[in-house]
């Protein structure tokens, strides 16, 4: 499995580049972070001049975040002169003017000169100074060029790894012709005018059904605006298929458990009254009607049913035990646990006679078959869910 941007299955790009020389680095963590920055941009040769905490350094390895191929080939030197002895073009990085008659360039120009020098077979190097005070005058004097960064003059100091990263970025960008590691996947073909027109006609037909394009005097302007929205997108054929699906899904309505909405208490009472009146006089074997009514109830929960159902599914005491609006024989309690032999009935305000008779018959039928029936007030569930759950648990 690849990490965040690091894919070890891909070939590492290590073009011939400059030597990075750290002069008397103090912290192993800084050396490791410099190695990581070098690895990001294809630099592989790291030289250390008198690292304060010695070498090898575990802190450096931890901070390198996988740049072991650089740390494993670090070379140590006692003096800066020895570390840069083979360099035909040497740059000294500094944020301070050292008052030396020496060309001063930015990182982009330095990268151009490094690429040109490497192309002729020369060895280039970049000097980076100490964390506390950078390079000394005699060390800068060894360099052919000074590199400084276009930073805020009132806050010019960069940490070591940042300076290495900026130089590595400018060099790698030139050395690889600014090639990005990946590009956007190929899109499907652009949608044809005919496909766009078919989609638009379908969209307009559905909008007319819900009277969206009104008032009539603004219809033409609204249609032009809508068409321009999709034309500016320059959609592909696949985009059009997706948009067709979106429009039709909205037009046809939600399906399955998501269909319908949430009822308030009055609406629920009227629905239950209708179902109770419909159920009166039905034969117990009329299971098709019972299942149809159960589906209708599942798709149209009240606020209290929805809240209680979410709690029953998430509370460890009840999780996986209860089902909602599931037929038990010819009856449909609001919630039922077959394993615990418990049925829960939610009582809404202002329930009519038909609902009360149906509920009483259902309770009698369930209790006769060993079910315990728990009656909960809908308003009480909404105002104090915890108490309702405790009642069920008890």
Give helix then strand counts, H and E, for the chain. 16, 11
Q: For residues 240 and 191, give the distance between their C-alpha atoms in angstroms, rounded to a whole number.
A: 7
- The confidence score (pLDDT) of residue 258 equals 43
Cβ(68)–Cβ(123) below 8 Å: no
Residue with tokens 């819900």: 210
Q: Return contacts of 266-273, CB within 8 angstroms, 24+ apart.
A: 266/350, 267/302, 268/300, 268/302, 268/305, 268/348, 268/378, 269/348, 269/349, 269/350, 269/351, 269/352, 269/355, 271/296, 271/297, 271/300, 272/348, 272/351, 272/355, 272/358, 273/351, 273/352, 273/354, 273/355
Q: Of 268, 362, 249, 252, which is closest to residue 306 (Cα–Cα)? A: 268
Tell me if the domain spanning 193-253 has CATH number 1.20.120.
no
CA distances from 186 to 131, 215, 230 (A): 47, 42, 20
Residues of the chain with CATH 3.40.960.10: 265-393
Structure-token pair, residue 287: 């299971």
Q: For residues 306 and 310, give the distance between their C-alpha atoms in angstroms, rounded to a whole number.
A: 6
Cβ of 343: how many Cβ atoms within 10 Å? 26
Q: Which letter, b or e, does each residue of 226-235 get, where b requires 16 or more Cβ atoms within 10 Å of its Cβ? A: beeebeeeeb
- The confidence score (pLDDT) of residue 187 equals 66
C-alpha 16: how far from chain center: 37
Q: Which residues, 6 or more positions from 25, have their beta carbon under 8 angstroms from its beta carbon?
A: 31, 34, 48, 51, 52, 130, 131, 160
Q: For residues 248 and 246, give the distance between their C-alpha atoms in angstroms, rounded to a whole number.
A: 6
* 10-residue mean pLDDT series, the chain (394 residues): 54 77 93 93 93 91 89 94 95 86 92 92 94 91 93 86 93 86 74 88 86 87 92 87 83 53 55 56 47 58 81 83 81 85 85 78 89 89 88 86
- The confidence score (pLDDT) of residue 136 equals 92
Report pTM. Answer: 0.52
Q: Which residues are 230's β-sheet partners?
A: none
At the fourth CATH level, the homologous superfamily of domain 19-175 is: SPOUT methyltransferase, trefoil knot domain (3.40.1280.10)
Q: For residues 345 and 338, give the distance between their C-alpha atoms in angstroms, rounded to a whole number.
A: 15
At the fourth CATH level, the homologous superfamily of domain 265-393 is: VSR Endonuclease (3.40.960.10)
Residue with tokens 């909602």: 324
Residues of the chain with CATH 1.10.8: 193-253
Residues of the chain with CATH 3.40.1280.10: 19-175
Helix (H) or strand (E) holding 379: helix 378-383
For helices 303-314 and 265-279, give the axis angle rounded to 10 degrees: 90
Structure-token pair, residue 92: 């000294």
């Amino acid at each position: 499995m690849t990490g965040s941007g690091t894919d070890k299955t891909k070939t590492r790009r290590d073009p011939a580049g400059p030597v990075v020389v750290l002069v008397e680095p103090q912290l192993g963590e800084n050396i490791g972070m410099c190695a990581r920055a070098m690895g990001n941009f294809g630099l592989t040769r790291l030289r250390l001049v008198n690292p304060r905490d010695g070498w090898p350094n575990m802190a450096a390895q931890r901070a390198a975040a996988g740049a072991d191929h650089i740390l494993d080939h670090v070379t140590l030197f006692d003096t800066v002169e020895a570390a840069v002895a083979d360099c035909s073009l040497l740059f000294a990085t500094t944020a301070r003017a050292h008052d030396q008659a020496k060309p001063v360039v930015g990182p982009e120009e330095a990268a151009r000169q490094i690429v040109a020098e490497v192309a002729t077979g020369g060895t280039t190097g970049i000097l980076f100074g100490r964390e506390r005070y950078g390079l000394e005058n005699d060390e800068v004097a060894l360099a052919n060029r000074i590199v400084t960064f276009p930073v805020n003059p009132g806050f010019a100091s960069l940490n070591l790894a940042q300076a290495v990263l900026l130089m590595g970025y400018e060099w790698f960008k030139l050395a690889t012709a600014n090639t990005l590691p990946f590009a956007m996947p190929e899109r499907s073909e652009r949608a044809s005018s005919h496909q766009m027109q078919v989609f638009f006609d379908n969209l307009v037909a559905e909008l007319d059904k819900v009277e969206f394009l009104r008032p009539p005097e603004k219809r033409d302007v609204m249609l032009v605006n809508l068409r321009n929205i999709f034309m500016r997108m320059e959609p592909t054929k696949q985009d059009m298929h997706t948009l067709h699906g979106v429009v039709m899904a909205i037009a046809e309505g939600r399906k399955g458990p998501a269909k319908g909405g949430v009822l308030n208490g009055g609406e629920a009472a009227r629905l239950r009254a209708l179902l109770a009146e419909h159920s009166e006089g039905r034969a117990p074997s009329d299971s098709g009607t019972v299942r149809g009514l159960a589906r209708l109830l599942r798709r149209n929960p009240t606020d209290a049913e929805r809240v209680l159902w979410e709690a029953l599914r998430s509370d460890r005491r009840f999780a996986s035990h209860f089902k909602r609006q599931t037929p038990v024989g010819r009856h449909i309690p609001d919630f039922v646990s077959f394993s615990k032999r418990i049925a829960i009935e939610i009582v809404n305000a202002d329930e009519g006679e038909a609902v009360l008779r149906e509920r009483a018959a259902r309770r009698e039928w369930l209790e006769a078959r060993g079910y315990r029936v728990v009656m909960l007030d809908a308003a009480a569930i909404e105002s104090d869910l915890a108490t309702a759950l405790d009642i069920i648990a008890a």
